[in-house]
Amino acid sequence: MIEISHLYKEYQGDLHKIQALEDINLTIDQGDIFGIIGMSGAGKSTLIRCMNLLEKPTSGSMRVDGQEMTTLTDAQLRDARKQIGMIFQGFNLLMQRTVLDNVAFPLELSGTPKEEIRRRCLEMLELVGLQDKAGAYPSQLSGGQKQRVAIARALVTHPKVLLCDEATSALDSLTTRSILELLKNLNQLLGVTMVVITHEISVVRNLCNKTAVIDSSHIVEQGLTSEILSNPSVDITRDLVAFEGVVRPC
Amino acid sequence: MLNSFQTYLPLLIQGSLETIYMTLASTLFAYALGLPMGLLVVATDANGVLPMPRLNRVLQWVVNIGRSIPFIILLIAIIPFTRFVVGTSIGTNATIVPLVIAATPFVARLVETSISELDKGVIEAAQAMGASPWQIITKVMLPESIPSITLGVSITAITLVGYSAMAGAVGGGGLGNLAIRYGYHRYQTDVMIMTIVLLIILVQILQSAGSLISRKLDKRSR
Ligand SMILES: Nc1ncnc2c1ncn2[C@@H]1O[C@H](COP(=O)(O)OP(=O)(O)OP(=O)(O)O)[C@@H](O)[C@H]1O
Ligand SMILES: [Mg+2]
């Protein structure tokens, strides 16, 4: 579903260039919940933002659903993005719109008829367990509820891929668990491929079937989550696993 | 004072109405021009939704020039233009022309500020959903910054009350003209004080109305 090869991204810093991604090669299959874990500054956000071209890679190939993303025109890119949902650490909801109208937003963009928008949004809100909040505004919701709205908004267009950038990092551990549960169910139910960026090993442990570890701009190991966690081959993964035991005794 | 108040009541009412008329009309026109201009400044920024660095530089330049000319100078400098547009350079209608020209860059800057206060993440989310630059402007930037833009409208109107009073000095009509004609030229301090009181009341009303409407519109505060 997502094929990345020889992907590089460099930022022009004030004094010198910053290599945020170096020679990234990854294959994410249809239906995967693919975790990408690493320390702060490793390049996780840069990598996931390259997947929908919020960041333009410096070189290399990024194919999503068979389509090369790096060579699309603006209009083609907009169409391609409609097949890729995204959720964020800060939720990024429209604060002046109701929950229902937030979920409606991506459908409005593609000119879906009003009746259909309403039907699909209510359906989606039911899936995330917020049917009774349709008329509320984001400021009236808890963090977990806001992320549920964001998930509904990202999936209402039935995208093939859902990108999650630290989607649970602003939430407490109980709420995190319920959001992870929801994402897992939606992956089963809708068959949507998920890419999950996190710095918490418990997130990949509880959610992802496959995992890649990223460290200072490089992918240092990847494979089935179970194998990586039980038999880490690099120090950074061992550190992350050990760190989990210290901070989150669960 | 009470006596003179009754004597000058018709004049004061007329002056107030003229001031209100000039303020509202010029606020309206200034937004008709300044709102699109402000949006264009935001959109064409290097990090904007429709990056056009050259156009952006020109717009920034125009806005800065407009903002740096003192109103009283502008008022006199554009008299030929005013005459060309309205046919005369005195009276309330003629005053609206320099008011609009002075306020438009001011409005553009206020609109730009309101929109740049928005959380960048929301705009990014819209981009990630495949929104076009136009859709981002009309469906995200504008509606999300409405409460802040509303406050800007009242700030603009208040500024224009002050400017219109200045324009009164050169035959612009309104309360400013009244204050100059009676209070200054005829040494009638009571008229002067009454116009000042009326101006203060007007400004207070504009300020409170702006805050109230902004608060009512803002869905973040409930
Ligand atoms: N717009 C930018 N301009 C310059 N440098 C950037 C930019 N965005 C990211 N970087 C740099 O690229 C590197 C990777 O950043 P990135 O945001 O991808 O890290 P991250 O793994 O997501 O970290 P975190 O867990 O803190 O979110 C960092 O060194 C960062 O300073
Ligand atoms: Mg990040």
pLDDT bin (cut points 50, 70, 90) of residue B192 is: confident
Paired tokens of A220: 């240092």
Question: Could you give the CA distance from residue A196 to residue A207 in angstroms, rounded to a whole number?
Answer: 9
The predicted model gives B79-92 an average pLDDT of 88
How many Å lie between the alpha carbon of B130 and the closest alpha carbon of chain A? Answer: 4
* DSSP 8-state assignment for residue A68: E
Q: How far is the CA of B80 from the CAs of A241, B38, B70, B74, B168, in angstroms?
A: 77, 27, 18, 11, 18
Residue A175 CA, distance from chain mean position: 17
Could you say which of A158, A184, A213 is where a domain stops? A158
Residue B2 is predicted with a pLDDT of 60
Domain of A165, in residue numbers: 29-56+68-83+160-250
Query: A109 and B220 in contact by Cβ < 8 A?
Result: no
Strand arrangement of the beta sheet that strand A67-68 belongs to: A17-28, A2-12, A59-64, A67-68
Chain B CB within 8 Å of residue A93 CB: yes
Overall number of domains in chain A: 2
Chain B CB within 8 Å of residue A92 CB: yes
The residue with tokens 């400044």 is B41
Q: Which atom of ligand 1 is nearest to the CA of A43?
A: 18
Same domain, A106 and A226: no
Same domain, A244 and A173: yes
The three-class DSSP label of residue A168 is: coil
Question: Could you give the CA distance from residue A219 to residue B84 in angstroms, rounded to a whole number?
Answer: 69
Q: How many CB atoms lie within 10 A of CB A249?
A: 6
Instruction: Find the angle CA(B154)-CA(B137)-CA(A156) to the nearest 5 degrees.
Output: 125
In chain B, the residue whose alpha carbon lies closest to the alpha carbon of A76 is B130
Question: Could you give the CA distance from residue B219 to residue B137 in angstroms, rounded to a whole number?
Answer: 19
Q: CATH number, domain at A201? A: 3.40.50.300
Question: Could you give the CA distance from residue A101 to residue A8 in angstroms, rounded to a whole number?
Answer: 38
Residue A250 is predicted with a pLDDT of 42
Paired tokens of B1: 């004072």
Q: Residue A195: what are its φ and ψ, rounded to 5°? A: -115, 120
In chain A, the residue whose alpha carbon lies closest to the alpha carbon of B140 is A94
Burial (CB < 10 A; 0-12, 13-18, 19+), residue A190, is middle
- The share of chain B scoring above pLDDT 70, in percent, equals 98
- The total number of residues shown for chain B amounts to 222
pLDDT bin (cut points 50, 70, 90) of residue B88 is: confident
- The share of chain B scoring above pLDDT 90, in percent, equals 65
> Can you give the residue ranges of every domain in chain B?
2-221
Q: Residue A220: what are its φ and ψ, rounded to 5°? A: -100, -25
Same domain, A153 and A182: no
Q: Using one digit for the tens of pLDDT, what is the confidence trace for B18-72? A: 999 999 999 999 999 999 999 999 999 988 999 999 999 999 999 999 889 999 8
Whole-number average pLDDT of chain B: 91
Of B124, B140, B147, the CB nearest to A94: B140
Query: A137 and B222 in contact by Cβ < 8 A?
Result: yes
Which residues share a beta bridge with A197? Answer: A36, A165
Who lines ligand 1 at CB under 6 A? A 11, 13, 18, 20, 38, 40-46, 199
Q: How far is the CA of B206 from the CAs of B73, B152, B173, in angstroms?
A: 26, 11, 20
Chain B CB within 8 Å of residue A95 CB: yes
Q: Which of A232-241, B112-121, B141-150, B191-200 has the lowest mean pLDDT?
A: A232-241
Q: Residue A28: what are its φ and ψ, rounded to 5°? A: -115, 120
Domain B2-221, CATH 1.10.443.10 — does that match? no
Of B121, B130, B221, the CB nearest to A81: B130
Using most ligand atoms within 8 A of CB, pick from A9, A11, A169 the residue to mutate for ligand 1: A11
Same domain, A73 and A170: yes
The predicted model gives B84-111 an average pLDDT of 92
Query: A109 and B122 in contact by Cβ < 8 A?
Result: no
Dihedral angle, C-alpha B147, B102, B112, B25, nearest 10 °? 30
The three-class DSSP label of residue A223 is: strand
How many Å lie between the alpha carbon of B134 and the closest alpha carbon of chain A? Answer: 11
Question: Could you give the CA distance from residue A177 to residue A167 in angstroms, rounded to a whole number?
Answer: 12
- Sequence-distant (6+) residues with CB within 8 A of B190 are B1, B4, B5, B8
Residue B87 is predicted with a pLDDT of 87
Same domain, A147 and A124: yes
Of A52, A90, A108, the CB nearest to B121: A90
Measuring CA to CA, which residue among A93, A112, A64 is closest to residue A152?
A93
User: Is A124 part of a structural domain of the chain?
Assistant: yes
Q: pTM above the 0.90 mark? A: no
Per-residue pLDDT of chain A (250 residues; tens, 9 = 90+): 999 999 999 998 888 888 899 999 999 999 999 999 988 888 999 999 999 999 999 999 999 999 999 999 999 999 999 999 999 999 999 999 999 999 999 999 999 999 999 999 999 999 999 999 999 999 999 999 999 999 999 999 999 999 999 988 888 888 899 999 999 999 999 999 999 999 888 899 989 999 999 998 999 999 898 888 887 777 778 777 777 755 544 4
How many Å lie between the alpha carbon of B33 and the closest alpha carbon of chain A? Answer: 25
Same domain, A249 and A176: yes
Measuring CA to CA, which residue among B116, B108, B118, B120 is closest to residue B152?
B108
Q: Which of A7-16, B23-32, B175-184, B213-222 has the lowest mean pLDDT?
A: B175-184
Chain B CB within 8 Å of residue A136 CB: no
User: Is A23 part of a structural domain of the chain?
Assistant: no
User: Is A88 part of a structural domain of the chain?
Assistant: no
Q: Is pLDDT of B191 > 90?
A: no
User: Is A128 part of a structural domain of the chain?
Assistant: yes
Residue A246 is predicted with a pLDDT of 55
User: Is A177 part of a structural domain of the chain?
Assistant: yes
